């Protein structure tokens, strides 16, 4: 059996750590990155990097490299919205990025196509996403009225093509409506994996990243990547809930609570981990309904985490990974309850320690690359045999 996987897109660093762990299980793996993959800021490694130089000689060399990569692997695992493509990498000026005929060709050649979902634009219309909850979360998004980024038409067109091409899809959030309501979409948390040694509770902090002495204050960590792009310039509102946390921490300090905010934006996650590690509580989105890399990293670092967990999405995840939901140690909070939740954590150091212990234990079980490799060894093997 040809046990080989090409990861197209680093998916931050998830594909890199999964690929390395799969090699220990006898798989030949290659991670491909390219301009627009965000690997410069968030990637931790890759095997092949494409530069989309359009000179004739560069196109010829790149075409040979791309075709060899795609044709020499049995499983092609893509990540990222609008990223099911092969020929586009050869010559962006000649081949469109969203036609799909090149992926259909790969399927006819016996390749198995896997795809990992990456957020709210992925297969769900803005109308459907806004329907969750009494207050539509899309109202907090800087891209709500930018149809080139997010609209019913764009999101559903992508979802329709994505579902027509993929043999297996990996989801992590449970928003199972529109094109995510499909039997090929599976809640597999393990894909979004980490290296437990990169995010370890006793992480050594380099001098240039050390915070000033907390003087007995409880540090509450909050961060936003691509802050300016994701924040409404007029209202300062974003889906990460920065507009809630900043004034909340100010009110708590004014009320005499020993608390201070650690706010980080636009840093690489290899730097961010040092600030997460020095904090006492990590705070994430209060309206979206689930979480991403920031929370997974914090759990692996052994930090208590506050985030809103949408009941409908938890139920979707529970149908495939019931133990994940049962064991999840994230502290649930909404904009209405977050002050009471944070006040309780600030006043209870023992509760913070216990949540941190459970978080590390949970992350080792669900998010370690070694565990992910065990899961995907089975998934890929079953696909190849089918």
pLDDT value for 221: 97
Q: Are residues 103 and 229 in the same domain?
A: no
Buried b (16+ CB within 10 A) or exposed e, 279-289: bbbbbbbbbbb
Q: Are residues 378 and 353 in the same domain?
A: no
How far apart are the C-alpha atoms of 309 and 311, rounded to whole Å?
Answer: 6
pLDDT value for 226: 78
pLDDT value for 164: 96
3-class DSSP assignment, residue 66: helix
pLDDT value for 267: 86
Instruction: Supply the range of the domain harboring residue 125.
Output: 4-193+369-385
Query: Which CATH number belongs to the domain containing residue 331 in this structure?
Result: 3.40.50.2000
Answer yes or no: is 199 within a domain. no
* Claim: this prediction has a pTM higher than 0.85: yes
Cα dihedral across residues 248, 253, 259, 264: positive or negative = positive
Q: Are residues 130 and 257 in the same domain?
A: no
Answer yes or no: is 289 within a domain. yes
Answer yes or no: is 56 within a domain. yes
Q: Are residues 155 and 298 in the same domain?
A: no
Q: Are residues 75 and 172 in the same domain?
A: yes
Answer yes or no: is 106 within a domain. yes
Q: Are residues 182 and 330 in the same domain?
A: no
How far apart are the C-alpha atoms of 75 and 78, rounded to whole Å?
Answer: 10
pLDDT digits (tens, 9 = 90+) for 70-98: 999 999 999 999 999 999 999 988 888 88
Q: Are residues 88 and 154 in the same domain?
A: yes
pLDDT value for 40: 82
CA geometry: angle at 242 spanning 236 and 244, to 5°? 95
How far apart are the C-alpha atoms of 359 and 364, rounded to whole Å?
Answer: 9
Contact 211, 275 (CB under 8 A): yes
Low-confidence ranges of the chain (pLDDT < 70): none
Q: Are residues 101 and 11 in the same domain?
A: yes
pLDDT value for 189: 96
pLDDT value for 333: 97
Work out how many domains the chain is built from and give that number: 2
How far apart are the C-alpha atoms of 204 and 264, rounded to whole Å?
Answer: 19
Q: Are residues 136 and 158 in the same domain?
A: yes
């Amino acid at each position: 059996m040809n046990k080989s996987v090409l990861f197209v897109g680093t998916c931050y660093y998830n594909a890199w750590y999964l690929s390395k762990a799969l090699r220990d299980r006898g798989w030949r793996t290659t991670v491909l990155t390219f301009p627009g993959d965000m690997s410069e800021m968030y990637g931790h490694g890759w095997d092949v990097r494409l530069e989309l130089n359009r000179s004739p000689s560069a196109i010829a060399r790149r075409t040979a490299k791309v075709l060899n990569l795609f044709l020499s692997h049995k499983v092609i695992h893509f990540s990222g919205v609008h990223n099911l493509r092969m020929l586009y990498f050869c010559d962006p000026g000649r081949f469109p990025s969203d036609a799909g005929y090149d992926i259909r060709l790969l399927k006819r050649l016996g390749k198995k196509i896997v795809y990992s979902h990456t957020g709210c634009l992925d297969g769900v219309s803005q109308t459907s996403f806004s329907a969750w909850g009494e207050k539509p979360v899309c109202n907090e998004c800087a891209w709500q009225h930018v149809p080139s980024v997010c609209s019913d038409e764009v999101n559903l067109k992508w979802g329709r093509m994505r579902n027509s091409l993929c043999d297996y899809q990996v989801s992590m959030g449970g928003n199972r409506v529109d094109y995510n309501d499909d039997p090929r979409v599976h809640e597999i948390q393990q894909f979004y994996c980490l290296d437990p040694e990169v995010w370890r509770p006793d992480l050594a902090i380099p001098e240039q990243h050390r915070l000033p002495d907390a003087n007995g204050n409880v540090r509450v960590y909050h961060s936003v990547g691509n802050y300016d792009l994701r924040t409404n310039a007029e209202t300062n509102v974003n889906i990460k809930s920065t507009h809630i946390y900043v004034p909340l921490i100010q009110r708590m300090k004014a009320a005499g609570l020993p608390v201070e905010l650690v706010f980080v934006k636009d840093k690489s996650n290899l730097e961010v981990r040092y600030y997460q590690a020095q904090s006492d509580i990590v705070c994430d989105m209060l309206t979206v309904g689930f979480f991403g890399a920031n929370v997974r990293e914090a759990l692996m670092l052994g930090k208590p985490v506050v985030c809103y967990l949408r009941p409908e999405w938890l139920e979707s995840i529970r149908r495939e990974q019931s133990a994940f939901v049962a064991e999840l140690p994230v502290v649930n909070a909404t904009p209405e309850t977050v002050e009471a939740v944070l006040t309780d954590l600030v006043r209870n150091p023992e509760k913070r320690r216990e949540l941190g212990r459970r978080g590390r234990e949970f992350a080792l079980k669900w998010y370690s690359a070694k565990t992910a490799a065990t899961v995907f060894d089975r998934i890929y093997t079953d696909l190849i045999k089918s």
